Amino acid sequence: MSLMTAGMRVAGSGADAPLALERDQVAPPRVGICAAGEIWGGVEQFVLTLAHGLRAGDVEAIVILFHDELLARKLRGSGIPVEVLDRFGKYDPRHFRQLAGVLRRHRINVLHVQGYKASVVGGLAARALGIRVVKTEHGRLEPLAGWWGVWNHCRLSANVAIERLASHAVVDGVAFVSNDIESHARLRRRAIPQRVIYNGIEMPPPRSSGIARRKRNAGTFNIGIVGRIAPVKGHRELLQALVRLRHLDAIRVHVFGTGPLEAQCRRWSEEWGVADRVRFHGFTPAVHERIAALDAVVIPSLHEGLPYVLLEAMALGVPVIASRVGGLREVLEESHCGLLVEPGDPSSLASAIERLLQDAALRAELVDRAATRVRQSFQASEMVREYADLYRRVLTH
């Protein structure tokens, strides 16, 4: 059975068909946000933030997940309706029927998909029912070096090919989290609404985190890297930069997160003689508190969309050093709101860390500019408003 055939056979009629099929009468959006929910990362933070905002406004929304993990628990704890699908194979035809049942039961008229599986399974099920589909592009595929990179690139390329084929047929509107991702987009075959919608965060309450940080970190300069430990995130480059900074006794590196490269990073820190300056914290649910206690956040990724840790650090008054790639470059405005370094360049990263350590005035300037930038352009309320507008656009397009 082909993917398209499996998807099209779930279509209902008569009493089973959702009200969304009556296109001559435009109903208010009833949104289903569909994502994997397998891990906790940027996409999961996005789903949680968006669902919160939509439910607080005038858009009814539920979240549909393929995994019952941390995101599902957080959503339930917030009172947001969650539907978790049975764990079949990646593109198992049974998922189409199950998801179609969820869409009919909740009378969804816009399905908002994130990621490969949600785009294929959700997109085809929604199209079979005449439901509009909105997709958010959170990142783009880029090759990595080494055998791990070659294998991962081939695996992801296959998923992307399937996703692109389905998306061209079913997607009615697209949002990109950065201009960089939009510039590499391939969803241009049909004239559909497309726009850049930056990720947004709930601004933390005013706090004296900077004062507390200076008192707590007296004599040390604590740097944090937050997220999945994988080659693309630049952990190796950060450890190599730390080797170049061994003459600065104050520097400590804190690694928050887990991932396939964790064991190798631990070995590197031992082999390169910096293990006493590196602490691996594992997965940390209350990472905001850890970020607020840092002297700097480093994001040395080889490519990025628009990571939430960047916005969170800026909002919490923690200076940022990041690679000059993707959404990082856009948000930090060519080092106006944080220091930018060349991706994959440990020497450039080490120089930026040393510069930030030695220049308190620069740190203060970057923090002030970053706080203003995130307040003006990256509020969760604005992100939610733009998505609500996009949902209405696709219902009338």
Portion of the chain with pLDDT greater than 90, in percent: 65
Nearest to 213 by CA among 297, 311, 332: 297
Same domain for 232 and 368: yes
Nearest to 56 by CA among 381, 375, 393: 381
**pLDDT tens-digit profile, the chain (397 residues):** 343 444 443 434 444 444 444 444 567 899 999 999 998 989 999 999 999 999 888 899 999 999 999 999 999 999 999 999 987 666 677 888 899 999 999 999 999 999 888 888 898 899 999 999 999 999 765 545 454 455 555 555 555 555 565 566 688 999 999 998 888 775 555 678 899 999 999 988 765 455 445 545 668 999 999 999 999 999 999 999 999 999 999 999 999 999 999 999 999 999 999 999 999 999 988 888 899 999 999 999 998 989 999 999 999 999 999 999 989 999 998 879 999 999 999 999 999 999 999 999 999 999 999 999 999 999 999 999 999 999 999 999 7
pLDDT for 370 equals 97
pLDDT for 91 equals 62
Range of the domain at 342: 209-377
pLDDT for 286 equals 80
Give backbone dihedrals phi and psi of 297, rounded to 5 degrees, phi first. -110, 135
pLDDT for 77 equals 95
Same domain for 158 and 142: yes
Q: How many domains does the chain have?
A: 2
Same domain for 373 and 275: yes
Same domain for 177 and 220: no
Same domain for 284 and 234: yes
CA 111/CA 34 separation, integer angstroms: 7
Same domain for 256 and 172: no
Would you say the C-alpha torsion 306, 310, 312, 315 has a positive or negative sign?
negative
pTM of the predicted structure, to 2 decimals:
0.85
Neighbouring C-beta atoms of residue 347, cutoff 10 Å? 13
Same domain for 268 and 184: no
pLDDT for 11 equals 39
Same domain for 386 and 258: no
Same domain for 191 and 43: yes
Same domain for 247 and 131: no
pLDDT for 23 equals 45
CATH number at residue 66: 3.40.50.2000
- Looking at the DSSP bridge assignments, the partners of residue 45 are none
pLDDT for 191 equals 79
